[in-house]
Amino acid sequence: MYINGLLTEMTSAAFRVSVEETAPSNHMFIFEIQKSYEQLTKDPGTILAFTTKLAQALGDRFPKNVIIRNVEAKNNERSFISWSNASLSHKICQKKAIETLKYLMLTRRRDRIRNEFVRAMDSRFHIRNIRLDLRVQSEYVSKGLPVVFPEEIPQEDDSATVATPMLVKEERPPLIITQHENHLYKPPPPLSSTSSPRPRSSAANQRLPPPYVPP
């Protein structure tokens, strides 16, 4: 290969780039920043500088734990940056650790941005607002099937011969038990023929006083 009249040699080397899938997260910090979307995304070094500044402001020397989830425009002058902390487990909700991280940036009263955090991010990345979003815990819980015990199934059902709890696809309402079928109900004892009858009122057999005769 000739370049400007000089004979040079060219070689190639094979390499492979592996991109790992980002782990899910159960929390999200959303920053409203005083920069346009074009200013943030035009140069990849801008986002790298942002993550480095953020990690240092939170007491971490390395930005590897700051995972940028999304960057979107709010208007021509401001943007939203969503990020999460990769050092926190996504399998369990570490609420105390998340709140500790939150209050490094916000005050405990009225959730205002701390002045020291604003100074740590400097004027290049002016943070206007910070919001924390937590994933709903019920999103990780499956509906499942109800557990039914054999005695709760009607006697005409042939599948009630087992002696251990089972899972059914359709939950059934409880059986209606009358007072005659309830083993806890005890009727009162019957009256015997030798028992004394209820005493009758003797007011009808009393003698009336003589009539009043004036003198």
Q: Average per-residue pLDDT in the chain?
A: 77
> Does 38 or 177 have the greater pLDDT score?
38
pLDDT in tens, 2-55: 555 555 566 677 778 887 777 788 999 999 999 999 999 999 999 999 999 999
> How far is Cα 159 from Cα 155, in angstroms, rounded to an integer?
9
Q: Is the pLDDT of residue 72 over 90?
A: yes
Examine residue 164 and state whether it is found in any structural domain, yes or no: no
Q: pLDDT digits over 87-112, tens only? A: 888 888 788 999 999 999 999 988 89
List Cβ neighbours of 92 (8 Å cut-off, separation of 6 or more).
none
Q: Report yes or no on 167 lying in a domain.
A: no
* CB neighbourhood size of 140 (10 A): 12
- Section 80-91 average pLDDT: 91
From residue 112, how far is each of 31, 103, 108, 127, 145 by CA, in Å?
13, 10, 8, 11, 45
> Does 147 map to a domain?
no
Is 60 exceeded by the pLDDT of residue 201?
no
Domain count across the chain: 1
Both tokens of 50, joined, read 């942002």
Within a domain: 142 = no
Whether 60 maps to a domain, the answer reads: yes
Say if residue 63's pLDDT is above 50.
yes
Residue 155: inside a domain: no
Do the domain assignments include residue 63?
yes
Q: Would the pLDDT of 166 be above 70?
A: no
For residue 78, the enclosing domain spans: 27-136
Q: Is position 57 within any domain? A: yes
Distance, CA of 176 to CA of 124 (rounded, Å):
72
CA distances from 33 to 29, 36, 127, 128 (A): 12, 8, 5, 6
CATH at 49: 3.30.70
